[in-house]
Amino acid sequence: MNPKSCKRGFIMRKSYSKKSRTPIKRSCVRSKRLRSRRIKPLKVIPILRSGSLGKYGYAVHETERSRHIALKKALRKYGFSSVIKKLNTVRILSKNTNSIIYKRDIRYLENKYMSRSGSRRSKVKTSKIVNRSIKKSSKSSFKLGK
């Protein structure tokens, strides 16, 4: 086995012998060095069109109420996920200046417009529990009636 025969991310370990004198052959083992690990791709922040939220009256230095009104207008045009993505992009790009304001606006939208209804399964479970309790109560009242 030559040293180049290991696949990517693995290196050749030298042969050695254990304390009990059992010989261990050389083999390929996963590398623990940073340079041989897979390099993660850089996170790409999408470029926003200037004024995409501004044309609805959104500006950082406006009052909270006027920003919320502007965000409601933008929601009608772009939809929930697009507005959140736009706000998050601007928040990341302005991390050292006004990111707290953008974060508050994102939280406002999430609290106001994100559905909290839960999954269909949880609704089915609760309805079954309610139905069972109704059936039990009706059976007990039927027995009492006799």
Q: How confident is the model over 116-134, as pLDDT tens digits?
A: 655 455 445 545 554 554 5
Q: What is the CA radius of gyration of the chain?
A: 31
The two structure tokens encoding residue 10: 């693995």
Q: In this predicted structure, what is the pLDDT of residue 35?
A: 60
Task: Establish how many alpha carbons lie within 13 A of residue 84's alpha carbon, considering only the half-sphere containing its beta carbon.
Answer: 12
How far apart CA 109 and CA 80 sit, in angstroms, is 8
Residue 129 domain-assigned (yes or no) = no
- Please give the tally of structural domains in the chain: 2
| Parent domain of 102 | 54-113
58 shares its domain with 93:
yes
Q: In this predicted structure, what is the pLDDT of residue 10?
A: 85
- Percent above pLDDT 70 for the chain: 70
64 shares its domain with 17:
no
Q: Is the pLDDT of residue 137 over 90?
A: no
What is the value of pTM for the model shown? Answer: 0.51
70 shares its domain with 24:
no
